[in-house]
Structure formats: structure tokens, C-alpha cells
């Protein structure tokens, strides 16, 4: 079956530091890949997505590239802000499917 593995948290960074949250997946065919974010006290929101190999999703300064050869979709941001403190979830949807399979989530705390 499908599965998503992302780095364990929590991750604590200083403001303006570089962020990487690793995500790898197992799926048959060509899944769509997503990063969702959950800010404190709020619901899950889609941050970015990529639907085919080598696609780069980007939003709010975050980026992730769909790497078929390494089955990865790592999230990066060049300079984090305190407002980026949240829990980040990597997820996939199998080819032709609708069901999202999530990683366990990575809690990011950014300190001034």
C-alpha cells in the first residue's frame, strides 16, 4: 500500500535559518504529492503540491520538488519566519485516487 515517511520533529530553528523537512514515499504508479500545514489552533491547509515527476510546487517561499528517482518530496524554505511555526504534513494521493495518505507530521518552531 501507499505510505509516507517524514522526518521526526520537533524542529526548532532561529528566524532566517534555512529549513528542510525530508519526505519520502512508497506508492505504485505516479502519485500526486502534497504538503499541508496546520498552524496553531487552525485547520489543515494545502501549502503546495506537485502532480508529476520533476514538478516543483511552491507557495509562501516554500518549495518542494517531486523526485521520482529518489521517491522524495522534501520541503525547503530559504529563510524561515516566526509565523512559519506550525506542523507540516507530507501527503500523497495514489494515481487515479482521491484518498490522501499522510506522514506523521513535523512540528516546526521558529524562534526570534
Partner 1 sequence: GAGVSQSPSNKVTEKGKDVELRCDPISGHTALYWYRQSLGQGLEFLIYFQGNSAPDKSGLPSDRFSAERTGGSVSTLTIQRTQQEDSAVYLCASSLSGLALFEQYFGPGTRLTVT
* Nearest approach, Cβ of residue 111 and partner 1 (Å): 24
Residues 1-30 binding partner 1 (CB under 8 A) are none
* Nearest approach, Cβ of residue 112 and partner 1 (Å): 28
User: Contact with partner 1 (CB under 8 A): which of 13, 100, 107, 109?
Assistant: 100
Place of cell 521526526: 8
User: Contact with partner 1 (CB under 8 A): which of 21, 25, 27, 32?
Assistant: 32
> Residue 84: phi, psi to the nearest 5?
-85, -5
Q: Identify whether the C-beta of residue 59 lies closer than 8 Å to the C-beta of residue 47.
A: yes
What are the Cα distances from residue 109, in Å, to 31, 78, 85?
30, 15, 5
Q: Which of 32, 69, 62 has its CA nearest to residue 49?
A: 32
User: Contact with partner 1 (CB under 8 A): which of 80, 86, 89, 106?
Assistant: 89
The residues binding partner 1 (CB under 8 A) are 31-32, 36, 42-46, 49, 51, 89, 91, 93-94, 96-105
Amino acid at each position: 500500500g501507499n505510505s509516507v515517511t517524514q522526518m521526526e520533529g520537533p524542529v526548532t530553528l532561529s528566524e532566517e535559518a534555512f529549513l528542510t523537512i525530508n519526505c519520502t514515499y512508497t506508492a505504485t504508479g505516479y502519485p500526486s504529492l502534497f504538503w499541508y500545514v496546520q498552524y496553531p489552533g487552525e485547520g489543515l491547509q494545502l501549502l503546495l503540491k506537485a502532480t508529476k515527476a520533476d514538478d516543483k510546487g511552491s507557495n509562501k517561499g516554500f518549495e518542494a520538488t517531486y523526485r521520482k528517482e529518489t521517491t522524495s518530496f522534501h520541503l525547503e524554505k530559504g529563510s524561515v519566519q516566526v509565523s512559519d511555526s506550525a506542523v507540516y504534513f507530507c501527503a500523497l494521493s495514489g494515481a487515479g485516487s482521491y484518498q490522501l495518505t499522510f506522514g506523521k507530521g513535523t512540528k516546526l518552531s521558529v524562534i526570534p
